[in-house]
A and B are shown apart, each in its own frame.
Chain A
Amino acid sequence: MPEEPAYSSAEEPQLVQWAKVGDMQAFEELVARYRDRIYVRAYSIMRNEDLAVDLSQNAWVKAWQRLEQFHGEASFPTWLSRIVTNLCLDELRRQKRARTDSIEAMEETTGPVENRMEVETIDPVEGLSRGELRERIDAALAKLSDKHRTVIVLYEFEELEYREIAEKMGTSIGTVMSRLFYARKRLASLLKETLKRDGLIE
C-alpha cells in the first residue's frame, strides 16, 4: 500500500501540485496554513466578523475550483488574497446597490474642500510597541468609510498599484489618488486624537 504523503511537513508548492490533481487533504493543509491570513484580509475590508468568515470560505471554494489557473506567478497566499479581496469588493458593491451612500457621495464630490484640511503631523511614537500601534491603527481604520478603508487596505496591505486598485474598484486612477489622500488625512487625524488621549503624544 502506498504511503500517505506527509501533508503537514510538505512544502507549499508540493501541496499545491497535489491539490491540483484533486487531493483534498493537501488542500485542507493549505487551508490550515492560510485560513487566518485570508480571514484577516476579509475582515480588514468588511469590518464584520460573520461576513469575513463567509467570504473567506467562499474564497477557498473559488480557489479550489480555479487551482488550474494558478501558475505560481505570485505566491499561493498572495493569489488567495486577491481572490478574497475580489469577493469583498463584490460584496461591497452589492451592499452599495442596496443602500444610498449619500455621505460618501458628498465626500467624493467635495474633494477641493476636504483637501483644505492639513495632514496631521505624527511624530514617531516612543514607548509604543508595534502591536499597540497596530491596534490603534486598526481602530482608526474602522472609522473610515468603506471606500476609503478599502483603498487603504488595497494599497498598504494588498500592495496593489494605483492602476490595479482603479481596475478592481471600477474607478479612475485620479479617484483612487483622491480617496487615498483623504483616507490618509483622516487616519492621521484619528491616530493623533487617540495617541493624545492615551497621553502618548503632546
Chain B
Amino acid sequence: MNENEIQLKVQALVDGELTGREAEELLSRLESDAGLKALHTRLTVVRGLMADAELPRTLPESGDFHWSQISKAIELEERQAKHMARPASGANWLLRWVLPLAGIACLVLVLSLQQTTMPDLDILLGSDHELELSIEDLDVMTFNTEDDNMSVVWLDYSIDLQQDEIDLWLD
C-alpha cells in the first residue's frame, strides 16, 4: 500500500467507511505511526468543522413569485403532457392514415389498368388449336425514323415449332 492509499484509508476510517478487520488493523497501525496519527487527528478536526457548516440562505426572490413560477411551469408541463397523450385530431388522422391509403389505392389502380391494357403476349392461333408463346420467347427490335415519319417494330418468335404443329397451324 503506497502513501496515497494509506492516507485515503485513514480518511475512510475518519468517515466511518472502514469497518471490521480493516479498521482494526489501521487503528493499531495509527498507534505506532505518529505521522498517520496526526493525519487522522487533522482530518477529524476538519470533519468536525464541516458538520452543520452549510451557510443558511434565503431565496433571493419573493415566495409568491417563486411559487407563481413553479405553478406556471407545472401547468405548462401538464398541458404539454395532455397534448401528447390526446388522440390525433381529424386533420392529423387524415394526414396520418387517409392520404397514404389513398396513395396506395391510386398506385394499385394504375398498375391494374396497365395490366389490362398491356398487349397479351400469349398468341391465340385459332379456336381449336392454340400455340402459347411466352415473353421469354419474344425478341423485339424497333426502328424509328422521324424523316420518314415511320416506326418499325420487329417481333421475333424464335421458338422451336414441331413440324406437325406448323402443319396444323397452316391448315
Residues of chain A at the chain B interface (Cβ within 8 Å): 24, 28, 31-32, 35-36, 39-41, 43-44, 49, 53, 56-58, 60-61, 64-65, 111-112, 115, 119-124, 130, 133-135, 137-138, 152-153, 155-157, 161-162, 174, 177-178, 180-181, 184, 187-188, 191
Contact = CB atoms under 8 A, between A and B. Distances in A.
B160 interface: no
Given A61-B77, A188-B46, A111 B56 contact: no
Nearest to A153: B54
B170 interface: no
B3 interface: yes
A24 B71 contact: yes
Given A124-B45, A156-B53, A191-B49, A39 B74 contact: no
Interface stretch (B10-18, B117-125, B130-138): B10-18
A44 B54 contact: yes
Main secondary structure of the interface of A (DSSP, over half): helix
Nearest to A135: B55
Contact of B67 (A31, A123, A133): A31
Main secondary structure of the interface of B (DSSP, over half): helix
Given A61-B77, A188-B42, A137 B8 contact: no
A64 B84 CA distance: 19
Contact of A177 (B12, B38, B77): B12
Interface string B5-47: 0011001100101000000000000000000001100110111
